[in-house]
Copies of this chain bind each other. A is one copy, B any other.
Amino acid sequence: MSGGPTTGSSTQRDAPNTNERYKGLCLHTVTTKPWPIETAVERYARAGIGGITVWREALSGRSPEVIGSRIRDAGLSIVSLCRGGFFASVNPDDREHALEVNRAAIREAQELGAPLIVLVCGADPRQPLAESREQIADAIETLAPFARECGVKLGIEPLHPMYADTRSAIVTLRQAREVCEAVGAENAGVVVDAYHVWWDPDLEAELAKLGRDRIFGYHICDWRVPTEHMLTDRGIMREGCIPLKQIGSSVRAAGFSGFEEVEIFSTRLWAEDQDEVLDRILRAWKPAQKKREV
């Protein structure tokens, strides 16, 4: 594990055009979970990757300020902190506790220097999904002013409907948009993850409705055929069936100009050599282009 910022020496090893190529790319630390965050920062920077999204687990035992400085010194942008949320519960004490946990996460994002926290909003199988969604909207409405004071945006990430039992009562972009509209705070928006929404017949129309003001982030990976595990069998781009080129074009057409964030949960990839995994991700990534006007 290397110590200290590595920008100076490592970026000089790469040709400038190589670095340019990946400047719109961001990796989630969970994608290379076996690496400590210090290693991830060094490797991402050396590859010329432009951004990093930090998972809270990767900060364990570390000072968010120190890690934040280290990331910036390496020349990486901090795109977001993953993750807050899990607001829904039949139990009012658990809902109150979730608010506390999320305030801590927002403070952590501020200390780290992350402008956005990604929310996996939660669901409680003991109550109707609509009830969970109301609790989610209430929680985000409660947290939004505090997050604004901290300079942190709240990004609601709709999850795939296969996670509607315990992870997210919000399973479509439309539902995420409706929560944003109910909350009515400028710093509440939506994080689009292609893995979760690629099947949605309203995908393109909803991206257009969200537009540049409400799309706070864009995550990519692929849906493997067959998928062997509901949580940890995601694929590298072009390993599966998600039409990433088309979805990326729609995200760009909607006005989003931020990073493309590679977020992959995969026991298969975590067991491999992480330098090779990183190389495969770099080779597989093609930045999304806005569709040309006809």
A interface residues with partner B (beta carbon < 8 Å): 125-126, 128-129, 160-162, 164-166, 171-172, 174-175, 198-201, 223, 225-227, 230, 240-241, 243, 246
Q: Choose among B166, B172, B200, B226 the residue that contacts A225 (Cβ–Cβ < 8 A).
A: B166
Task: Give chain B nearest CB distance to A71 CB in angstroms.
Answer: 34
17 new A-B contacts, CB < 8 A, other than A125-B240, A164-B198, A165-B223, are A128-B243, A128-B246, A129-B199, A129-B201, A160-B162, A161-B161, A161-B162, A162-B162, A162-B227, A162-B230, A165-B226, A165-B227, A165-B240, A171-B201, A172-B201, A174-B201, A227-B230
| B-chain residues with CB within 8 Å of residue A223 when the two chains form the complex | 165
Query: CA–CA, A201 to B202, complex, Å?
Result: 13
Can you show 14 pairs from A to B with CB atoms below 8 A apart? A125-B225, A128-B243, A128-B246, A129-B199, A160-B162, A161-B162, A161-B199, A164-B198, A164-B199, A165-B225, A165-B241, A166-B226, A172-B201, A227-B230
**A216 → B minimal CB distance (Å):** 22
> Roughly how many angstroms separate A286 CA and B160 CA in the complex, as a whole number?
30
B161 touches A175 (CB 8 A): no
- In the assembled complex, the CB of A90 is this many whole angstroms from the nearest CB of chain B, namely 12
From residue A11, how far is it (CB to closest CB) to chain B in Å?
Answer: 38
In order of increasing CB-CB distance, the 5 nearest A-B pairs are A125-B241, A164-B199, A161-B199, A162-B162, A125-B225
**Which residues from chain B contact A125 at a C-beta distance below 8 Å?**
225, 240-241
Q: Which residues of B contact A226 (CB under 8 A)?
A: 165-166
Contacts A125-B241, A230-B230; is A199 near B225 (CB within 8 Å)? Answer: no
Q: A171 contacts which chain B residues (CB < 8 A)?
A: 199, 201
Separation in Å of the A156 CB from the closest CB of chain B? Answer: 15
Residue of B with least CB distance to A198: B164
Q: Give every chain B residue within 8 A of A172 (Cβ-Cβ).
A: 201
A225 CB contacts on chain B under 8 angstroms? 125, 165-166
Q: In the bound complex, what is the Cα–Cα distance between A129 and B202 (angstroms)?
A: 12
CA separation between A174 and B174, bound complex, in Å? 15
| Closest B residue to A200 using CB positions | B161
Chain B: which residue is nearest A223 at the CB level?
B165
Closest-CB distance, A125 to chain B (whole angstroms) = 3
A125-B240, A225-B125, A240-B125 are known contacts. Are A175 and B201 too (CB-CB below 8 A)? Answer: yes
B residues in contact with A128, CB < 8 Å: 243, 246
Write the nearest CB–CB distance from A123 to chain B, whole angstroms.
9
| Chain B residue at minimal CB-CB distance from A196 | B161
User: Considering the chains assembled together, what is the distance between the CA atoms of A200 and B175 in angstroms?
Assistant: 11
Shortest Cβ distance from residue A173 to the other chain B in the assembled complex, whole angstroms: 12
Q: How far is the CA of A165 from the CA of B162 in the complex (A)?
A: 14
A231 closest partner in B (C-beta): B226
Min CB distance A134 to B, Å, is 13
